[in-house]
A = this chain, B = another copy of it.
Amino acid sequence: MSAEIARAAKGPPRKRTNDPEGLRNKVLDVAEASFQARGYHASALGELMATAGVTGGALHHHFPTKKALALAVIEERVAAALDETWISPVRAAGSAREGVRAVFEAVAAELERQGFVRGCPLNNLAHELSLADPDFRLALAGIFAGWRQAIADKIRADQQAGREQGTDPERFAALAIAAYSGAMSMAKTAQDASVLRDCLAELEGSPTPPFGAKRRRRILLRPGKP
């Protein structure tokens, strides 16, 4: 038994410091990671409490039900993650196509660096929860809609600058998101991020690589066991 635990167990009743926001964030952190790694149904609140170092009373005070916790993860964390990885970079890019390309490459590079593909948080939860509960579905659909609109808006901005005249903004956004989502699904299942680059290359219509050129095969599968 570690000294810390022993002290906590045998020491005199220590002072407690209330930090509702901090505790809430800690729970959200652990829940986000657990939902991403194991999914909603496979995540047990007991283990979540133990990992976060939170008691049942505290958890129930901030999130009355498991559903409420998941809804908070979706609306706060998943949406924010998508903003950071997709929406902001696309907005900041020189054009919509450049933005999409940059995101694809950045994600592929990050996955190869990590050596493990956990999949897209939004798609992971969307698949598991869309049919399970209307509230889940609506929350997830809203995030998808915002994603699509951000890309479509970027195309429209390009068009106002005289570019992308032959492009339909909504269609382009739909395909970009679908290609990314589907590629992540394949990458997660195969534990190989190279399919992201394949999809990007085909999406951009880049020339076929010379015959006989070895296709780099990134062997991943180095499960991060914390």
A189 to chain B, nearest CB (A): 5
CA A48 to CA B145, docked complex, whole Å: 35
A144 in complex: contacting residue of B42, B145, B190, CB < 8 Å: B190
Given A123-B127, A127-B124: A174 and B202 interface contact (C-beta under 8 Å): yes
Please tell me if A175 contacts chain B, counting CB pairs below 8 Å.
yes
Beta-carbon contacts of A176-218 to B below 8 Å, as 1s and 0s? 0111111101101111000100110111000111000001000
Q: Are A202 and B188 in contact (CB under 8 A)?
A: no
A215 in complex: contacting residue of B42, B128, B170, B215, CB < 8 Å: B170
CA A189 to CA B139, docked complex, whole Å: 9
Contacts of A185 in B (CB 8 A): 123, 126-127, 178, 181-182, 185
Please tell me if A226 contacts chain B, counting CB pairs below 8 Å.
no
CA A179 to CA B182, docked complex, whole Å: 6
Given A124-B127, A128-B128, A132-B38: A186 and B168 interface contact (C-beta under 8 Å): no
Given A41-B41, A174-B186, A182-B182: A131 and B118 interface contact (C-beta under 8 Å): yes
Please tell me if A39 contacts chain B, counting CB pairs below 8 Å.
yes
Q: How many residues of A contact B (CB 8 A)?
A: 51
Q: Are B141 and A190 in contact (CB under 8 A)?
A: yes
A218 to chain B, nearest CB (A): 14
CB nearest to A188 among chain B residues? B130
Contacts of A126 in B (CB 8 A): 185, 188-189
CB nearest to A209 among chain B residues? B168
List 13 A–B pairs whose Cβ atoms lie within 8 Å, in order of A's numbering.
A38-B131, A119-B127, A119-B130, A126-B189, A127-B185, A141-B190, A145-B190, A171-B208, A174-B198, A174-B202, A177-B182, A178-B181, A181-B181
Measured CB to CB, the residues of A under 8 A from B are 37-39, 41-42, 118-119, 123-124, 126-128, 130-132, 137, 140-141, 144-145, 166-168, 170-172, 174-175, 177-183, 185-186, 188-191, 195, 198-199, 201-203, 207-209, 215
